[in-house]
Amino acid sequence: MKTKATPAIKLDTLSDVNDLGKPWRYTDEGLTVTRSSIWTPPGCHPVGCGLKLYVDDTGRLVKVEGDENHPVTQGRLCPRCITMKDYVYNPSRIKHPMKRDPQYRGQDDKWVEISWDEAYDIIEREYRRITGTYGRESMIIFVGTGREGGTLLPYATMSFCTPNFCYSQSGYACYTPRLAACAYITGIPYPELDYAAGLPGRYDDPEYEVPEVIMLWGKEPLPSNPDGFFGHSVIDLMKRGSRLISVDPRVTWLSSHADYHLRLRPGTDTALGLAMIDTIIKEELYDKDFVEYWCYGFDELTKRAAETPAEKAAEICGIDAEYIKEAARMYATAKPAGILWGLAVDQKRNGMQNGQVIVDLMAITGNIDRPGGQVVGDINSGLNEGGFGFDKGIGPELGAKMIGIKEYPGYCNLILNAQADLALVALETDEPYPVRMGMYTGNNLMACTSGEPRRWHDAILRSLEFCIGVDCFMTPSIQASCDIFLPLATVVERDGCLFAEYGAAPLYFGACNQAIDPGDTKSDLQIAFELGKRLNPHMWEDYNDVYDFINDLRLGKQFTFDELHKEVTLQQDISYFKYERGDLRRDGGLGFNTPSGRIELYCGAYAQFGDDPLPYYEEPPFSPVSTPELMADYPFVLTSGARTYAFFHSEHRQIPYLRELNPDPLVEINPAVAKRLGIADGQWCEVYNMFGSAVLKAKITQAVDENTIHAQHGWWFPELNPNDVDENGPYHTFRSNINNLNPNGYQGKIGFGAPYKCMICNIKPAEKSYDTDMTDVWDKFGKLV
């Protein structure tokens, strides 16, 4: 892999007095400034935004500023990094390891501060005891998103050597269904919208073309930089002429600035995609050469799509047929055109088919691996981490015990994760075997990821004899169920390496450069290394220190952290049309890394895993069409989890400047519905269905239509007394948790996809107000320590 230093490109609004060209560390008015391309904690997707960290002579971080030298962010930052020191020095941050007798789980005042040695001693003792009795498969590691620990497979493969690394969301309804669809159809890990992130001249680079059209499908990238894409690149491109198509049930800022806003009923995306494919094929707007030379199964796709013409999709999705056709024409006619596909694609039972129609659209319009279309890595990129340590640390015999591998091989083998829905069953029933030890890393499932969180809570407390939490702050999940707390260093307290776009769309490398002393906290990489050296030293013989591990894991031993950290960022070589040169296949042959060597519009891998090789639409399991008998009781379609600027999932509730932007959990209701139900703006409401209920505060807005209700996710209330635990759980996380309404066990055929964004519900005014007192939040968390 070739890399090059990244030239800084000055924004026109930046003054002539600036820090362009400064080295990785310099002094400014008596402060030491460290430049860093940061990634977690705090959690976020791996864009690796550029920060300048100002540290005074006592070693304290006194200011954070955006680094104008960063090739992508160019000095810009979002509110979450601006408040970095409020996170680092927050009075509620936990800075020393702690233990608690398992009989006192849930009780905050029973934690006892201990040393790292004692913590490791206890972990080693319990690990030997439990795995000695039940086998290494009896340990489960709950992981999440946007934290280094949340995707750190070596925790499982090398430190604990358990096959059960588990993203605890039904159907892994986040990102991986899209990865799977793309991998099975094209052999490429991820087709990112090409935003010139790897090109030295960025948007003005001679290699680049600005997309004429960007189609945002189930993705609102501005607040969250999803999957590692710098969201405001869309704005950069709009200024350079890109026009938008938005596929979204809600009116967002971006959808209101789109030429076409396909405002579909939640969960019906695949029908819309089939209709767009049908329109593009019938009107012969597809890229005939690309289809002829590089696609497989076009005739079969043509026939299948013809079963869902725009007129039929119009009825399913609730969008005018001609409007669908016009949008399809706009996308197919534009050259180049790129699609940004988002989380909503995964959050339906037939998410794999939703992903399939989108990849098919990219393919038949010839936009894959084309400048300004979808940028993709070559065969050498992004693959180093997949399965890192698995063969040696787990091996075939133990690997065959991974929960769900028999039922869902297309899920478990692809992402090397225990299938989430079956992991819950195992925790509840001891089938197929007892699970007795656990760990949370980058995961707060009771507040955030998991449907029916009380069910997970009860299952975990029932089955786990010993559980470890790794975090910067106490979380509801750790408070409820852990016996050891390991305090995590923030990104300004440790060295590390940005894992850009999770390695799936490799564009650049970044160095997380340590700026201040971590005290008694450690990074996930350090903890994995130290625990691994104790528990399974045979896995760590090649590494003398954590840098050896970073160099191998993150940099593929092709260069070292020492070489990277002074550059802060390095761009990778980007090239296009690689399928014409044999750069996408391990055997060096032309075409794509699939059995047919072509993009498989008729996808053999889907068939191999028991699904239809062609895309098809399936109604959500609960909807006005599939469960009309339930609509009298639950007349609204419930969608949840739209991102905010203030928070990353369940993080940041204890940062006053961020909480102030969004003090309470909000539920969006159309004005006509609010009027009919007698709900006032700002009134607390109970949202409920057959799985559970949650109370949230009404925001009356035309952002949702009269059939749809949207609720925020990830809520808990760190300002509440942690010892005041009732049926709402620690920090009352179950009170306003919209996942109370989202079930487990409705995953797709391959095991991927779940209906988080297309459930049904009803809503009524709540009996009292739960308004957050921001003075209380400020008093508790505003005085930094």
Binding site for other proteins (CB under 8 A): 11-18, 63-66, 68, 74-79, 82-83, 222-223, 231-232, 235-236, 238-239, 251, 253-257, 261, 263, 323, 645-646, 656-658, 660-661, 701-703, 774-775, 777-778, 782
User: CB-wise, 300 or 320, nearer to other proteins?
Assistant: 320
Q: What share of the chain is helix, strand, coil (3-state, %, to 5)?
A: 35, 15, 50
CA nearest to 290, candidates 602, 595, 674, 577: 577
Q: Give the C-alpha separation, 464 to 427, whole Å.
A: 8
User: CB-wise, 99 or 202, nearer to other proteins?
Assistant: 202
Q: Give the relative orientation of helices 269-282 and 321-333 as an angle to the nearest 10 degrees.
A: 60
Q: Give the relative orientation of helices 269-282 and 298-306 as an angle to the nearest 10 degrees.
A: 110
CB of 409 to other proteins, least distance (A): 42
Print the SS3 string covering 56-68.
CCCCCEEEEEECC
Q: Where are the alpha helices (DSSP H) in 187-268?
A: 233-239
Phi, psi (rounded to 5 degrees) for 293: -85, -30
CB of 28 to other proteins, least distance (A): 11
CB of 500 to other proteins, least distance (A): 19
User: CB-wise, 627 or 772, nearer to other proteins?
Assistant: 772
Q: What is the DSSP secondary-structure string of 119-176? A: HHHHHHHHHHHHHHHH-GGGEEEEE-SSSTGGG-THIIIIII--SEEEE-SGGG-SSH
Measured CA to CA in angstroms, residue 183 lies from 412, 593, 612 at distances of 14, 9, 16
For CA atoms 28, 34, 35, 37, give the dihedral sign.
negative
User: CB-wise, 413 or 701, nearer to other proteins?
Assistant: 701
Strand, helix or coil for residue 776: helix
User: CB-wise, 330 or 695, nearer to other proteins?
Assistant: 330
CB of 11 to other proteins, least distance (A): 6
Q: Indicate the helix (H) or strand (E) that contains 700.
A: strand 692-700
Maximal CA-CA distance, the chain: 70
The residue type found at 524 is D
Q: Give the C-alpha separation, 570 to 70, whole Å.
A: 10
Instruction: Give the end-to-end CA distance of the chain in Å, rounded to a whole number.
Output: 44
User: CB-wise, 136 or 659, nearer to other proteins?
Assistant: 659
Q: Is 476 exposed, middle or buried (0-12, 13-18, 19+ CB in 10 A)?
A: buried
CB of 484 to other proteins, least distance (A): 34
User: CB-wise, 380 or 702, nearer to other proteins?
Assistant: 702
Phi, psi (rounded to 5 degrees) for 354: -60, -45
CB of 675 to other proteins, least distance (A): 15
Q: Indicate the helix (H) or strand (E) that contains 111.
A: none
CB of 226 to other proteins, least distance (A): 14
CB of 132 to other proteins, least distance (A): 51
CB of 784 to other proteins, least distance (A): 11
Q: Indicate the helix (H) or strand (E) that contains 388.
A: none
CB of 662 to other proteins, least distance (A): 10
CB of 465 to other proteins, least distance (A): 43
* Tokens of residue 487, six digits: 């305090």
CB of 695 to other proteins, least distance (A): 24
Q: Are the C-beta atoms of residues 745 and 404 closer than 8 Å to each other?
A: no
